[in-house]
Each structure stands twice: as C-alpha cells, then as structure tokens.
Amino acid sequence: MAVVAIEKYEFSPADSQEKFNGNQVLYIGWEDHLMFCAPFAFAFPPTMIFKEILDKVIPDAFGYHPETSKIDWSQAEWFKSGKSWKPDVNKSLVENGLKHKDVLRFKTPGLKGIKGSCS
C-alpha cells in the first residue's frame, strides 16, 4: 500500500554538529571483528590529528579484543562511508576531509577475529 505524506516536514536535526560543543561525531568500526557488532560513535574536535585515533582511541575502544595489539596500521585498509579511503595520519580530521557523522571502517589483513571466526 502506498503511503503519502500529508505535510512537508521541516525541522533541524537533533544531532547536528552545533549540539556537540565544537566536536564532530565520527563512527569507527573494525571489519571482520563481530565482537564489535556496530561502529562506535566518538565526538572529536575537527582539529584532532588522525594518528591520535590510532594511538589512543583504537587501543582504548577495541583493546579488549586479543588481536588489537597485532594491528599493523601500515597494512590497514580504510573505508569512508563504504568507499576505499586512505587517511593521512599526520593531518587533522578536517584536513582528511572528515565531516560530522562520517562512518569509517578499517580492515586488518591477516586478522580475522578469534581463531579466524570473525568474532
């Protein structure tokens, strides 16, 4: 059955960047590691250097997975909103073209979860 809207809905999103005190939300997920079933949401300053995510955020957020310490960031494959993407780790989030509510996923060749189970 077709559905027809009877009015035009116009409103400001409740999660716009202005609501995050100068920060932007960035979603980060680890492919083939279903222990983390969905990307984590983080609020970061746009000026944050991407390497800080690798050095501080990933170890804290994903650190209880036994393969976290085995990640070789030079081999990691990144995806931004589903498309292949390569960050410059020495540049800020905004310099890397990241915007509020972008979704990043990373894949770690050779690491497929606990005993290869993708978990």
Single pTM value for the model = 0.88
Measured distance CA(96)–CA(98) in Å, rounded: 6
Domain ranges within the chain, ordered by starting residue: 21-116
Which pLDDT tens digits describe the chain residue by residue (119 residues)? 677 777 777 888 888 888 899 999 999 999 999 999 999 999 999 999 999 999 999 999 999 999 999 999 999 999 999 999 999 999 999 999 999 999 999 999 999 988 889 99
Give the pLDDT confidence score for residue 12 in this predicted structure: 84
Give the pLDDT confidence score for residue 5 in this predicted structure: 73
Give the pLDDT confidence score for residue 57 in this predicted structure: 97
Give the pLDDT confidence score for residue 6 in this predicted structure: 75
Contact 70, 114 (CB under 8 A): no
Q: Domain 21-116, what fold?
A: Ubiquitin-like (UB roll) (3.10.20)
Q: Which helix (H) or strand (E) holds 86?
A: none
Give the pLDDT confidence score for residue 86 in this predicted structure: 97
Give the pLDDT confidence score for residue 104 in this predicted structure: 98
